[in-house]
Amino acid sequence: MPLRPWSPIPIADNGEPLEELPAALVQLEPHPYVAVGAPYGEQASPFRLRRGVIERLLAAQQHLQQLHPQLRLAVFDAWRPLAVQAYMVQHAIGAECERLGLDPSQPGPALEAVVAEVGRFWAPPSADPRTPPPHSTGAAVDLTLIDGDGQPVAMGSEIDAIGAVSEPDHWLQQAQALPPGTARDQALAWHRQREALRAAMLQAGFAQHPNEWWHFSHGDQLWAWQQQQPLAIYGRWQGG
């Protein structure tokens, strides 16, 4: 998995603590990675972020509800230790091989293509402090929208889906190629939901992952790269 374009950006961690998400932010449970056996350990909650990131999430929810009172943010995943990152990268490769009918134990071009495609969505579990996976910093969050009944809003793909369907503007591009009708209307509806999430998060100071409609961060290397900042302010969380 090659380095990202934001990987060379230096990090000067500001030391903000990692804190539990407040009750005002909905957490989607059971947590999806815990459910598949990811090794968090008994004391490591995935629903934690840096203090400044939590404050911005609350601001994003306020922005969202000013325009869409019936909607709320719902957190899918937040902090992720390296052991979990490594586990989930392999899980994603295995799941994609299963979907394609490939044997992940057999090397070759087909497996290499799967690993490369998964690498567009899952960061390498690097232990190098200069290249931390975004979720290991406590600066990145995966989230979606829920409606007034607490039900997830249709966004046109599941979180963690591998492929072009997960790119933020995928359904807008599809709609532009479709004739007027039901399929085009559906594509535009999915894009509007993604855009509502993106607008709220960007207004609160987050940056969006270029390949993932659900992934946003503030203060990590990806954010610094998108915002043309000289430094990231959050490195890999080393605390308890």
Active-site residue list? 212
Tell me the C-alpha distance between 229 and 209, whole Å: 16
Q: Which residues are within 8 A (CB) of 135 and not within 5 positions of it... i.e. 6 or more apart?
A: 77, 78, 79, 80, 85, 123, 142
Q: Which helix (H) or strand (E) holds 215?
A: strand 215-217
Using a 10 angstrom Cβ sphere, with 0-12 exposed, 13-18 middle and 19 or more buried, the burial of residue 142 is buried
- Give CA torsion, residues 29, 20, 56, 9, to 10 deg: -100
Whether 231 and 12 have beta carbons less than 8 Å apart is answered as yes
Tell me the C-alpha distance between 138 and 48, whole Å: 7
Tell me the C-alpha distance between 196 and 186, whole Å: 16
Give the E-state strand segments of 87-198 in sequence order. Answer: 140-146
Single-letter amino acid code for the residue at 206: F
